Chains A and B, each alone.
Chain A
Amino acid sequence: MSAVEELPMVVPGLVGFNDDASQPMLMGSRCKACGAHAYPYTEICQSCCGETEKASLGSGGTIYSHTTVRVKPPFKLPRSYAVAYIDLHAVSLRIFGLLDLADGWDQRIGDSVRLVIRDMGVNVEGDPCRRPCFTLVETATE
Chain B
Amino acid sequence: MAAVIGTGITHFGAFPERSLDSLGIEAIRGALADAELSPVDMQGAFFANALGAMLLGDTTVGQSVCAAIGLREIPVVNVENACTSGSTAFHLACLSVDAGQADAVLVVGVEKMCVPGFGLINSSVHDVDTQLGMVTPAGFALRAQRHMHEFGTTAEQMAQVTVKSRQHAALNPMAQFRQPESLESVLSAPLIADPLTRSQCCPIADGAAAVIVASDHYASRFKRAIRVVHSELASGSYENPMDIVRWGTDYRTAQRAYEAAGLGPKDIDFIECHDAFSIAEILHYEALGLCEPGEGGQLVSSGATSLGGRIPVNVSGGLLSRGHPIAATGIAQLVEVSTQLRHEAGKRQVEHCQVGLAHCMGGDKLGDTKSCTIAILAR
Contacts from A to B (Cβ < 8 Å) = 10-11, 14, 38, 40, 46, 64-75, 77, 81, 83-85, 87, 92-94, 96-98, 109, 123-124, 131-132
Contact = CB atoms under 8 A, between A and B. Distances in A.
A109 B190 CA distance: 23
Which 5 pairs between the two chains have the least Cβ-Cβ distance?
Answer: A94-B241, A67-B141, A65-B146, A65-B142, A69-B193
Given A85-B244, A124-B131, A67 B142 contact: yes
Contacts of A68: 191, 193-194
A68 B145 CA distance: 11
Contact of B132 (A10, A92, A93): A10
Given A94-B367, A124-B125, A65 B149 contact: yes
A94 B132 contact: no
Contact of B131 (A10, A38, A73): A10
Contacts of B238: 46
B240 A93 contact: yes
17 contacts: A10-B131, A69-B138, A70-B190, A70-B193, A73-B133, A74-B130, A74-B135, A81-B133, A83-B132, A83-B138, A93-B240, A94-B241, A96-B367, A97-B132, A98-B132, A123-B131, A131-B132
A72 B149 contact: no
Contacts of B194: 67-68, 70
A97 B135 CA distance: 12
B347 to A, nearest CB: 35
A11 B193 CA distance: 25
Contacts of A65: 142-143, 145-146, 149, 244
B33 to A, nearest CB: 40
Contacts of B133: 69, 73-75, 77, 81, 83, 98
Q: Quick one: which of B119, B145, B190 has the most chain A CB within 10 A?
A: B145
B131 A109 contact: no
B145 A109 contact: yes
Interface string B193-207: 111000000000000
A77 B131 CA distance: 10
A89 B131 CA distance: 23
A73 B130 CA distance: 11
Q: Which of A65, A75, A123 has the most CB of B within 10 A?
A: A65
B330 interface: no
Given A94-B240, A124-B125, A66 B145 contact: yes
A124 B126 contact: yes
Contacts of A109: 145-146, 149
Given A69-B133, A98-B133, A85 B142 contact: yes
Interface string B120-156: 1010011011111111011001111110010000000
A69 B137 CA distance: 8
B192 interface: yes
B320 to A, nearest CB: 17
| B122, B242, B367 pick with most chain A CB within 10 angstroms | B367
A139 B146 CA distance: 17
Given A40-B128, A67-B138, A67-B141, A74 B122 contact: yes
Interface in B246-289: none
Interface in B23-65: none
Contacts of A81: 133
Contacts of B130: 74
A1 to B, nearest CB: 33
A101 B354 CA distance: 53
B191 A83 contact: no
Contacts of B244: 64-65, 85
B187 to A, nearest CB: 15
B364 to A, nearest CB: 10
B142 A66 contact: yes
A70 B138 CA distance: 10
Interface in B165-216: 190-195
Given A69-B141, A74-B119, A92-B241, 13 more contacts: A10-B132, A65-B244, A66-B142, A68-B194, A69-B133, A69-B135, A69-B138, A71-B120, A83-B132, A85-B367, A92-B240, A93-B240, A98-B133
